[in-house]
Amino acid sequence: MSWTDERVELLKKMWGEGQSASQIAKELGGVTRNAVIGKVHRLGLSNRAGSTSSSSSDSSATKAEAKPKAKAAAPKAAPAPKPAADSKPDLKTESAEPRALPISARNKIIPAGQPLPPQPSANEISPEALAKVNEVEKKAKKLSLMELTERTCKWPVGDPATEHFWFCGLPVQQGKPYCEAHVGVAFQPMSSRRDRRR
DNA sequence: CCCTGATTCGC
DNA sequence: GCGAATCAGG
């Protein structure tokens, strides 16, 4: 793959948006994050806004996209439909609000037949997200509490008081306690703010 | 171990 | 110019 004008543009755009080199590379396809970083440097646009130390513990942006700089409309000749090799619906759930973590509350043992409030499932989560979860649960590694690690999805499934209980165990999404699918249902798109009854 | 960007250096 | 390998850090 070569750095065509379009690819470079996307690179600039994404880099400007604070996307990581690996994400950009993934999006572009055909290049590694090293290539992206190398290109970024060659283009002379290294540091983005202030924060040099990349990343590290999750972080992520909690800030909204603010582009004080309005770019003059350039006479684009060709809209070019970019059919990214594999384009998945971008799921940038930046402004999401975490709901109560269903992680087994502490290490408390829940007696059988007792109420299990947390289980967030049939709520007002996007049906797609739920469907995704159901699908994922089939592939779940079904780990036990003690098998969980920092990199395993800690989403609980089933009733803790029965045999039919396990944790998802799939690879977590960086910085999150759950796998992608479960992050989808754990974090609401920001809304669902029930009207205060009064 | 996962990830991040930075640099080097042969091609 | 390119980018894998390597480095440095969280």
Structural domain boundaries enclosing A170: 127-186
Supply the pLDDT for residue A104: 45
Any domain includes A177: yes
Q: Which nucleotide is nearest to A46 (CA to C1')?
A: B5
Helices A21-28 and A5-16 cross at an angle (nearest 10°) of: 150
A26 touches strand C (CB under 7 A): no
Give A89-123 pLDDT, tens digit per residue: 444 444 444 444 444 444 455 455 544 545 544 55
pLDDT < 70: residue spans in chain A? 48-125, 188-198
Any domain includes A92: no
Any domain includes A24: yes
Supply the pLDDT for residue A11: 92
Closest CA to A42 of A11, A10, A82: A11
Any domain includes A161: yes
What's the total number of domains in chain A? 2
State phi, psi for A37 to the nearest 5 degrees.
-60, -45
CB-to-strand B contacts below 7 angstroms: A 19-23, 33-34, 37-38, 40-41, 46-47, 52, 54-56, 150-151, 174
For C5, nearest residue by CA–C1' is A34
Supply the pLDDT for residue A53: 38
Supply the pLDDT for residue A70: 38
Supply the pLDDT for residue A4: 93
Supply the pLDDT for residue A56: 37
Supply the pLDDT for residue A87: 39
Any domain includes A51: no
Any domain includes A28: yes
Distance A173 CA to B1 C1' (A): 14
Any domain includes A36: yes
Q: Which nucleotide is nearest to A37 (CA to C1')?
A: B5
Supply the pLDDT for residue A66: 39
Distance A25 CA to C3 C1' (A): 12
Any domain includes A76: no
Supply the pLDDT for residue A76: 39
Q: Using alpha carbons only, how large is chain A's radius of gyration in Å?
A: 21
